Amino acid sequence: MVDALKESWRVLHQGGVLLDFRPLVGSPPIEIAGGGSAQEVGSVDDRAADGDSAAADAAIETVTKSGIFYGETKRQFQVAHYWDSVEEMSEYLGSRRHRMSILPSEAHVREFFDRTVRTDARIRLRCRWRNQLHAYARL
Amino acid sequence: MVEIDPEGIESRELLAAMDFKDTMVLEVGCGDGRLTFKYGAVPRRVVGIEPSASPLTNAHSNCPTALSSHVHFVQATAMTLPFRDHSFDVVLLAKSL
């Protein structure tokens, strides 16, 4: 990762900006959303990303300490994902670079979802991931 | 099918983080261009790189006509960027670090 950051430094103009945009690990809640309301029914197990997330933080620390990037502005915000079924959500989570899963279980979330879908026409599963957007200037 | 960020939070936050107007942007990890297309109209030029061929094919085919003159996609990795020194004003690591 440090090598990739040094490549970014190389192709940037002096004073150019490096933007580090990525989701934060933190077991985001799964909600059943629709009709203006939402009910939390589980969470996403995203612990598989823990190692890479820590390594990314360490790589950023290395290049800022070495002085090739400096300063920093930090933003955090939530980005929502929506699915029409538990199967679609599960397939999406399982296909990510860091394989994720549904907690406490897919069956648990499906039970709530199926029950709610029968009572409302427009119901979806929603997960709002917390993201970071950090900016660094190139020395 | 997954719908990601229909509220447009990502592009709003990106464009609030810095002024992209007239900039040369390198997006590392552009995937199928989903994020690129959201802010791509603002910079002077955007180059998105992605190591995998499959998402890049989708990025090419899904690129809106209005962006096709200044948004480009290249198969490459962050470890060996196929660009000259000091080519860009912004490097956006899009969920790729």
Query: What is the full per-residue pLDDT of chain A (139 aa) written as tens digits?
Result: 999 999 999 999 999 999 999 999 999 999 999 888 899 999 999 999 989 999 999 999 999 999 999 988 999 999 999 999 999 999 999 998 889 999 999 999 999 998 887 765 689 999 999 999 999 999 9
Cβ atoms of A127 and A87 within 8 Å: the answer is no
Q: Between chains, do A22 and B1 touch, taking CB under 8 Å as contact?
A: no
What's the gap in Å between the CA of A97 and the closest CA on chain B?
10
A10–B81: do the CB atoms touch at under 8 Å? yes
* Pair A111, A105: CB distance under 8 Å: no
The mean pLDDT value for B54-77 works out to 95
Q: 10 Å Cβ neighbour count for B2?
A: 15
In a domain, B65, yes or no: yes
Give A75's strand partners.
A133
A74, β-bridge pairs: A134
The values of phi and psi at residue A107, to 5°, are: -65, -40
Within a domain: B73: yes
Query: Which sign does the torsion angle of CA A60, A62, A66, A71 carry?
Result: positive
| B28 interaction partners in chain A (CB closer than 8 Å) | 4, 8
| Chain B residues touching residue A87 (CB < 8 angstroms) | none
* End-to-end Cα distance, chain A: 19
Q: Could you tell me which residues are beta bridge partners of residue A43?
A: A29, A103
The domain locations on chain A are: 2-138
CATH of residue B65's domain is 3.40.50.150
Most A CBs within 10 Å: which of B39, B93, B95, B96, as the mutation test of the A interface?
B93
Contact B97 A1 (CB under 8 A): yes
Domain range holding B80? 20-92
Q: Among A34, A7, A31, A27, which Cα is nearest to A101's?
A: A27
Tell me how close the Cα of A44 comes to any Cα of chain B, in angstroms: 15
Structural domains in chain B (count):
1
Structure confidence at residue A35 (pLDDT): 81
pLDDT of the residue at B34: 95
Decide: helix, strand or coil at residue A68.
Answer: coil
ipTM: 0.95
Question: Which of B1, B78, B83 lies closest to A88 in CB terms?
Answer: B1
Q: ∠ CA A74-B81-B66 to the nearest 5 degrees?
A: 75
Q: Mean pLDDT over all residues of chain B? A: 95
Interchain proximity B93–A77, CB inside 8 Å? no
Q: Is the pLDDT of residue B41 over 90?
A: yes
Asked, for residue B58, whether it belongs to a domain, the answer is yes
